[in-house]
């Protein structure tokens, strides 16, 4: 039998996940870097890695404005959200050669929103055949890359897209 070691998951298992105030608003108050995992700040929206990703490269596009749903956002924010989501697809294709993507928002508790008071889009890269025995029999996902490595890889690609324009 082979062993799969994922020691970074222990923090998630043991942590008290209660954050005072809004998770996304608290990230915005921090300096960008590996501590808050923000890859890019636009004018009204930011892009951040999911700390507990579904797959490597799982990003979120989040408005600065603290609203529970898309219909509470102004048109400029909505346009920037979809523009940055489009950029994220390109970054993830370049970094991980993704075959496809899940892109969406869980709006409200009934829809499964983990942070129901601050709307955000999830961008999850996918690969043909990426459901393996761990997911189907053990209800476990295997992430082959440390979050810090993912952050450094995607940060360089993300910034290069905006340095040229």
Q: Over its length of 165 residues, how does the chain's per-residue pLDDT go in tens digits?
A: 444 555 555 665 555 555 578 999 999 999 999 999 999 999 999 999 998 888 889 999 999 999 999 999 999 999 999 999 999 999 999 999 999 999 999 998 888 888 899 999 999 999 887 654 444 444 555 566 788 888 998 998 888 888 765
What SS3 state is found at 122?
Answer: strand
Q: CA 43, CA 34: separation in Å to the nearest integer?
A: 21
Catalytic-labelled residue, pool 3, 58, 66, 120: 120
- Whole-number pLDDT of residue 54: 83
pLDDT in tens, 123-163: 999 988 765 444 444 455 556 678 888 899 899 888 888 87
pTM of the model: 0.79
Cβ neighbours of residue 102 closer than 8 Å, sequence gap 6 or more: 122, 123, 124, 126
Q: What is the largest CA-CA distance in the chain?
A: 54
Q: CA 14, CA 59: separation in Å to the nearest integer?
A: 23
The domain segmentation of the chain, as residue ranges, is 18-163
- The structural architecture, per CATH, of the domain 18-163 is 2-Layer Sandwich (3.30)
120 is catalytic: yes
């Amino acid at each position: 039998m082979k062993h799969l070691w994922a020691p970074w998951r222990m923090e998630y298992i043991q942590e008290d996940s209660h954050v005072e105030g809004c998770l996304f608003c608290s990230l915005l108050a921090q300096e960008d870097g590996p501590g808050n995992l923000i890859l890019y700040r636009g004018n009204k929206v930011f892009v951040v890695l999911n700390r507990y990703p579904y797959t490597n490269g799982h990003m979120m596009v989040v408005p600065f404005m603290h609203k529970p749903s898309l219909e509470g956002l102004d048109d400029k924010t909505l346009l920037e959200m979809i523009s940055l989501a489009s950029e994220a697809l390109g970054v993830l294709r370049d970094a991980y050669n993704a075959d496809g993507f899940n892109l969406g928002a869980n709006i409200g508790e009934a829809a499964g929103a983990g942070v129901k008071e601050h709307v955000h889009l999830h961008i999850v890269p996918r690969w043909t055949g990426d459901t393996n025995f761990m997911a189907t029999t053990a209800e476990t996902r295997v992430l082959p890359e440390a979050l810090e490595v993912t952050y450094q890889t995607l940060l360089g690609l993300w910034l290069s897209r905006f340095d040229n324009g």
